[in-house]
Amino acid sequence: MIARRHVFHIGGYDPISPAQQVSRLARSLSVFQRTWGVRAGIVSAIDATPVSASWIVEASGPNWSTRTSYEMLRWDDLILEDHARGMWSRLWRSFVTLVDFIVTGTLFRFMYANWKYAGFFLFPYLCVAGFIGCGVAAGYGLVRLTGVSGFPAGVLGAATAVGVGAGLLRLLGSRRPINHVFDDWIFSREFVYGRRPRMDARIDRFAERILDRVRNADVDEVVIIGHCLGAALVMDAVARALKRDPELAGRGRSLCILTVGSTIAKFSLHPRGEHIRQAAQAVAGEMRIPWTEYHARDDAISFYRFDPVMLKRVSRERSGGRPDIRRVQLHDMMDRASFRRHRFNFMLLHYKFLMGNSVRANYDYCLIICGPLPFEEITSPRGGVDRFGEDGALLQRASSGTAAAASRSADAAVAGVA
């Protein structure tokens, strides 16, 4: 049973501050308490630096208690700098990115790997195309309305088209995730080409933090969690840590990796993504580090049923591989009304992997980060559904009542993804 744990969290392309992360986690822990009948909460202030921010989470049931040091490895400042760029600079760099991903064949590899993710890539470009279409229609209508012809008609139509298209982008670009997704793809292209030296230096700092905690933290296990693009950064940081200390995994503490909503393949499928491919292979090659990756069909912003190391589609769950691949259903982690309400809120569903579940399921983020079960047990196909009673007590086995009902529910969930 785990009593002390250190969790590293590397988020995706999301400029969330430590205070916002604490607020999100506090809400998740509140849901976690109701769902599992436990007590859980954040019990310390934030200890923040430009590279990381940490705080303490305590959780307990009638016969167990844990203390988790939760450390967020930060790069929100670099994302905010990207968001500050001007509209025309963003559009130009986005166009260069689109051409690059087409010419290198990366977009077509996305289509093979997961057509939904290819749609996510194309989403902002289709929005801009729609804005331009509205501008052209408005220009044509204005020319017809004014009755001008010849060169003045061309100038009026073009000016109207540009003005309307730019106005719509300025109005909706920030309200919808258009600008955000453009910046994400601009970053991805620049990073894969090695043109983000400050990000490269930041990953070195992440590796240093991981090395320090594994060597010195007085804990039972260290869990490194990567979400979305952060999963690729986890690969990079851990590979660098292993290069500096090849015996890192044998330092007496269980070092584990969890990747969720992963987009490692967004770099690995690019011809210039060799360093991420090598990093994932290095992590996979260290057999002493358990690595589990969760996939969900309803998460469109990830590579569902795609092996991030072999870069091949997988047909089912896999245990004993590198990584272990678990398939879960997001609607089994939410009440039905909530899932129906957010069915097409792709961003929210993508972040569901980092939220507390309103229903007991074989994947639960809070149970992984602050529950008493070791990583390899809590990330097994059945997770923790058989191991907790209604009052949050840790059970030795599913014996009766609620535990058996939870077991049947988990069986149905597993069958639903098979």
Residues 307-365: tens digit of each pLDDT? 999 999 998 778 878 999 999 999 889 888 888 888 888 888 999 999 999 999 999 99
Q: Where are the alpha helices (H) located in 104-114, listed in sequence order?
A: 106-113
Amino acid at 118: A
* pLDDT at site 287: 93
pLDDT at 106 over 80: yes
User: Alpha-carbon distance 232 to 280, whole Å?
Assistant: 8
Which residues fall within 8 angstroms of residue 347, CB to CB, at 6 or more apart?
177, 301
Mean pLDDT over the full length of the chain? 91
Q: Is the Cα dihedral 32, 34, 38, 39 positive or negative?
A: positive
Spell out the domains of the chain, with CATH numbers in brackets.
4-77+192-417 (3.40.50)
Contact 276, 124 (CB under 8 A): no
User: Alpha-carbon distance 213 to 119, whole Å?
Assistant: 39
* pLDDT at site 341: 86
Contact 228, 262 (CB under 8 A): yes
Mean pLDDT of 263-279: 97
pLDDT at 417 over 60: no
Contact 130, 123 (CB under 8 A): no
- The 8 Å CB, 24+ separation contacts for 386-391 are 386/410, 388/36, 388/37, 388/38, 388/61, 388/360, 389/37, 390/37, 391/37, 391/61, 391/62
Whether this prediction's pTM lies above 0.85 is answered by yes
269 phi-psi bin (left φ>0, alpha ψ -120 to 50, beta other): alpha
C-alpha separations of 281 from 160, 229, 305, 313, 320 in Å: 52, 17, 18, 17, 16
For 257, list phi and psi in degrees, rounded to 5.
Answer: -125, 135
User: pLDDT tens digits for 48-105?
Assistant: 999 999 999 999 999 999 999 999 999 999 999 999 999 899 999 999 999 999 999 9
* pLDDT at site 397: 65
C-alpha separations of 206 from 75, 138, 234, 255, 309 in Å: 10, 50, 9, 15, 22
Cis peptide before 308 (omega within 30 of 0): no
Which residues fall within 8 angstroms of residue 411, CB to CB, at 6 or more apart?
none
CA atoms within 13 A on the CB side of 165: 22
User: pLDDT tens digits for 220-255?
Assistant: 999 999 999 999 999 999 999 999 999 998 877 789
* pLDDT at site 395: 94
* pLDDT at site 399: 45
User: Alpha-carbon distance 274 to 267, whole Å?
Assistant: 8
Contact 384, 363 (CB under 8 A): no
Contact 263, 231 (CB under 8 A): yes
User: pLDDT tens digits for 11-38?
Assistant: 999 999 999 999 999 999 999 999 999 9
Mean pLDDT of 102-130: 95
pLDDT at 404 over 50: no
* pLDDT at site 406: 45
Angle made by CA atoms 39, 363, 266, in degrees to the nearest 5:
125
Angle made by CA atoms 346, 352, 358, in degrees to the nearest 5:
125
Contact 394, 64 (CB under 8 A): yes
Helix, strand, or coil (residue 372): coil
* pLDDT at site 76: 97
Q: Is the Cα dihedral 139, 140, 143, 149 positive or negative?
A: positive
Q: Where are the alpha helices (H) located in 261-345, listed in sequence order?
A: 265-268, 274-285, 336-341
